[in-house]
Structures are given as structure tokens and as C-alpha cells.
Amino acid sequence: MESKPGRRRALRRHWVWISLGVLLLLLVTRQLFFQLTVIRPPAGAGQGAQRPRVEVRDGRVYVGDSWLSRERGILELHLSGEPFSLGYSHGRLGSPHLVQIEDYLFGEMRRYVPSSLALGLIKAGVMVRQRNLLDAVPVPLRFEMAGLAEGQPDGQGDFLPPFQRIVFYHALHDITQTIEHSPLLGCTALAAMGAATVDGHLYVGRNFDFEGPPLFDSDKAVLFFRPQGKLAFASVAWTGMAGVVTGINEAGIYVSVNALRTDDKSDRGLPVELLLRDVLERAHSLTEAIAVAREHPILVPDLYLFADGQTGEAAVVERSPTRFEVIRSRDILGVANHARTAPFAKDQANERLRTHLSSGARQARVDELLTRYRGSLDALGVQQILRDKRGPADKELGLGNRNALDALIATHSVVIDATERILWVSKGPHALGEYIGFDLRRELGDVSRPQPSPLPEDPVLHSPEYRNFQMMGQSLHAAEVARKHDQPELAIEEARRAVGLTPLSAEATLVLADLLWERSESSSRTSSGEGEDRRQARELYTRFLTLLPPHRTEVEHAESRLTALAGSAP
């Protein structure tokens, strides 16, 4: 009979083998998961390609024939070559900015999701859901993204391989589309042409409202691409973006994207930034642009503004995974974030965009201003519309209200004369700064064309109103910190300061109303004190509803609080 010590040793060996087996199973499972979900560079990417060193000459940074500078106040990159080399040059030239952006993004991600387990589960979910993302991407773009990944330092390789991160970055718009307060949901664009303009030229204006890292505003970039064997084009975005969100090609074809939401979904398709890149590389006319866009299956719904500088015609494409509608115009055309054609009329997600968020108000305002200024529009007139800070029917709004065309959140604001292939890009902040002019034909080699004069900065930039708006933001942040750390008195004081600085701010008014409500609910002081908080909260909620708040959920929140306050009134 085996002794007790012998049985204990056998039991320990038994558990050791079980533990090793479980560990091995986990490792095999992890490796299998990685093999099934990893997105790899295409075979042969970079094979035989030259990898020039970075050189600085005459204030410009060069990698081979490609170069970067900030000599005009905005980052500009001039990129050329076969796909891998073009991408590699892009990565090497933009490395300092790319590292800074990645560090910021990952820092924010880990701040909002501090749990390593939760972060791992989120990553696993994204990897599974997006495992087929590369399937719809044209092969040349795969090679270009492979070069882009190789050309920059890999500071986040412990999270995902560099090539897979690059691919995911180019689907950021598609991945965040379903978020209620998506950082990409708020853009407005417009086109005016023919008799609507002073000279018959086709003018386009576009605010890219992206509530992401400030770096996307301060370090916005104009990228000039000369892809091998395809049309050259200019893209306004940021360093590291091989796709297009706003751009114009040498044939005068303009493209941009505004987010849309619809009821139909898809798990296979081409990210919209890469779809628009394909349009610019291939389309010589508006008809061709629409045809190229129709070729590709898509992941999420969007609105595309296309314009043809040669024929003087523009179009809004209302696109979902199962629907494709086109609105053409030779006069004026505005677009916010909801579809307006009959096939989308009963779509609940689309209707929610129009009525519950800011799209309905912005569409009404851009249509109103285009009609008002029709016949007198030029580059300055389009810039004026992009900078409009009032609501429909000229209602005065506080700075930063999301119902305004200029909500002070644009990471780039652009005016384009598509007829002359000239684009003006705001230096920032947002749409307030001077707009620097770039002539695409000159940038592509026709030095006989003059350098375009800039468009002026917004007088608001140096106004007391804007200074107060900036201080309001700081006070609201301080109020949020105090609230989070259970310091209601300090939070209320900071919120009062914010309202005092910007009395027309719906955001500040709601924050103060909520803080007073919360204090009245939890206060252990005398009932008279609680009554005063409730009285002030009632006044603030009532005032909030008059300030054209942009989100229906906040309106319903204020209305429910007013109902509760009315029910508790003595």
C-alpha cells in the first residue's frame, strides 16, 4: 500500500502535469487565435526596394525624391514612387509626428481602459470583427501600407504588429461609426457653381469636425501624392494617412466624406478613406467618380461629396451597404450627416441623426446661407459660410455649439476652387486661422502659375469672446475633476465661472444645472438650502432649453428634471 507521503507526491505531480497541460492549451489557443486574426503585409512587400536615408536640405526633409516641410505654416508632404517606396518614404518623413500621435492615442486608450484584461478583451473583439479587413483593399495600397509600417518606429508592437495597426488606423472612421458621440460625426460640406458663383467657377467648402487629439488640428497636413501610373492628387488630413477624407486630383475631381448612420449593416467592405483614395487615383469626371465608388462594397454608410471642376457639376452620394443614391447639382449643394432621398426616408438610424443630433440644424443652416448668398459666392464667401457660428434663422449661439457650422472642433477646414485646382487650408486653430493657399498644378510642377494668396483669419480668433470660450473649457474640466473627487462646492463654483464667461453656452448651463440638482438631492443641509438649489436648477434647465442644445438626449434629460422639479415644488 502506497504511503501518505507517496500519495502526496503523486498528487503534486498530477497537478503539475494538469497545470502544464492547461498552460500549453492556453498558449496553443493564443497562437491559433493570433494566426486566425493577424493581418500580415502582402508577400514580397519591400523586396528589392530602395530604402533611402533621411536627409535635411535647405530646410526640407528628404527621403529620396519625397520631402516634407512646414515652410508655409502647415505640414506638407510630397510623396512619389511605386507603392512600397512611396509608403516607406511617408513613414520615414512623418516618423516624429506618427510616434507622437500613436503615443497620445494609446495613452488615452489606457487612461480610459486601465484594466489590462478589459483592454485585451477589446483588442480581441476588434481583431475578430476586423480580421477580413484587408480583403477588399486594392493590392497597391496593401504594399503602400506595408512601406508605411516599415518606415516608422514600432513603439506599440506589444499591442499589435505595426502593419495591422496601420490597417486599423485606416478603418478608424468605419470602426467608430456606430458610437453615439463618435468623434467623426459632425462634418459639414457645400458646393456652389455656375450662376451661384461670381465667376462661374466650382467652389467647395468643407469642415472636417473630428473631436480627436489636438495634434490632428495643430499638425494637420496637406499631402501631395504622385502614385505610379495613376492620377496625382492632394489630400488634406494628417501624417500617416494614406487614404483620403478630403482631396482633389489633377483632373479637378474633388471628394470628401461625411459620416452617416443607417439601419443596414455589413461586415465586409473597403474602409471609406481607401475608397476615396481609389476614386482620386482613377476618376477623370464626376460620372467616373460615382462609378468607381459604386464598384466597392462598404463597411458602413457615408455621404460622399463629389465635384467636377471641368464640367462644373457636383453630387452628393448617399451610400449604405445596400443603397446607393445620387443627388446631382449645377447650382448649390449642402451636406451634413443625414440622407435626404426617398429610399432613406423610413430609416430609423438616419432619422435619429437628423432629429436627435446636430445634423438637422446644420443642414438647415447651410441650405439657408447658400440660398442667401447665391450668385455672390467665391472663395471668401465659402469661407464665410464655413465660419458661421449661428443657428437656423440666424439664432445666436454660444461658441462651440454643435448646431453651428463652425463648432470650433474642425481639425481641418478647406476651401477649394475645383475649376482652378486651388485649395486653401486653415492653419488653425480649427477654422479660425488664416487659410494657406496651394495650387495643385504648381505643386505638381507648373511653376509658371502664381502662388495663391491666403484667405484671412477670423476676427473671432483675437476676440474676448474666444478667450472666454477657452477659459470656459478649462473651468468645465476643473468642475469635472472636482465632481469626480466628491468636491461638489468646488465643482459648482467652477461651473458658475464657466456660465459667467459664456452665458450662451448650452454645455456650461447644463453642467451647472446638473451639479445644483445633485447637491439638492444629496444635501443634508436645511430644507431652505435644498429649495434654493432646486430653484436655481429649474431656472438653468429652462434656460438651457432656449439655447438650441444640439443633442436630443440632453433635451430629454433637462425636460425630465424640470418635470421632477415641478412635482416636488411646494
- In sequence order, the 6+-apart residues with CB closer than 8 A to the CB of 504 are 396, 397, 398, 399, 401, 547
CB 550 within 8 A of CB 354: no
pLDDT at position 39 over 90: no
Please state the φ and ψ torsions of residue 269, each to the nearest 5 degrees.
160, 180
Bridge partners (DSSP) listed for residue 81:
227
Q: Give the model's pLDDT for residue 529.
A: 52
Q: How far apart are CA 411 and CA 214, in angstroms?
A: 8
Q: How far apart are CA 390 and CA 42, in angstroms?
A: 50
Are both 239 and 284 inside the same structural domain? yes
Q: How far apart are CA 506 and CA 503, in angstroms?
A: 8
pLDDT at position 175 over 90: no
Which parts of 72-114 are beta strand (E)?
75-81
CATH of the domain at 523: 1.25.40.10
pLDDT at position 230 over 50: yes
Q: Give the model's pLDDT for residue 31.
A: 47
- H-run or E-run covering 293: helix 286-295
Interval 48-67: pLDDT, tens: 899 999 999 999 999 999 99
pLDDT at position 119 over 80: no
Assign 126 a pLDDT band (cuts: 50, 70, 90).
low
Q: How far apart are CA 469 and CA 397, in angstroms?
A: 12
Interval 320-330: pLDDT, tens: 999 999 999 99
The answer to whether position 232 is within a domain reads: yes
Assign 527 a pLDDT band (cuts: 50, 70, 90).
low
Range of the domain at 445: 188-457
pLDDT at position 185 over 80: no
Query: Of 457, 483, 507, which marks where a domain is finished?
Result: 457
pLDDT at position 198 over 90: yes
Q: Give the model's pLDDT for residue 160.
A: 81
Sheet of 188-192, strands arranged across: 332-335, 188-192, 203-209, 410-417, 422-426, 435-439
Segment 526-549 mean pLDDT? 86
Are both 421 and 563 inside the same structural domain? no
Cβ-in-10-Å burial (0-12, 13-18, 19+) of 23 comes to exposed
Bridge partners (DSSP) listed for residue 238:
220
Residue showing cell 479660425: 432
Q: Give the model's pLDDT for residue 28.
A: 45
The answer to whether position 29 is within a domain reads: no
Domain count for the chain, please give it: 3
pLDDT at position 559 over 90: yes
CB 50 within 8 A of CB 111: no
Are both 311 and 351 inside the same structural domain? yes
CATH of the domain at 336: 3.60.60.10
Q: Give the model's pLDDT for residue 33.
A: 43
Assign 9 a pLDDT band (cuts: 50, 70, 90).
low
Segment 406-431 mean pLDDT? 97
Q: Give the model's pLDDT for residue 182.
A: 57
Q: Give the model's pLDDT for residue 197.
A: 98
Q: What is the dihedral of CA 75, 78, 82, 85, to 10 degrees?
A: -50
Are both 298 and 429 inside the same structural domain? yes
Cβ-in-10-Å burial (0-12, 13-18, 19+) of 524 comes to exposed
pLDDT at position 1 over 90: no
pLDDT at position 249 over 70: yes
Segment 357-382 mean pLDDT? 97
Assign 120 a pLDDT band (cuts: 50, 70, 90).
confident
Q: How far apart are CA 305 and CA 246, in angstroms?
A: 9
Query: Of 457, 491, 526, which marks where a domain is finished?
Result: 457
Are both 447 and 537 inside the same structural domain? no
Cβ-in-10-Å burial (0-12, 13-18, 19+) of 484 comes to exposed
**DSSP category for residue 225:** E
Instruction: Determine if residue 76 is left, alpha or beta; phi over 0 gives left, psi from -120 to 50 gives alpha, anything else beta.
Output: beta
> How many whole angstroms from its chain centre is CA 95?
21
The answer to whether position 24 is within a domain reads: no
Are both 144 and 280 inside the same structural domain? no
Query: Of 457, 492, 525, which marks where a domain is finished?
Result: 457
The answer to whether position 540 is within a domain reads: yes
Determine what percent of the chain is predicted with pLDDT higher than 70. 88
pLDDT at position 466 over 80: yes
Are both 153 and 261 inside the same structural domain? no
The answer to whether position 391 is within a domain reads: yes
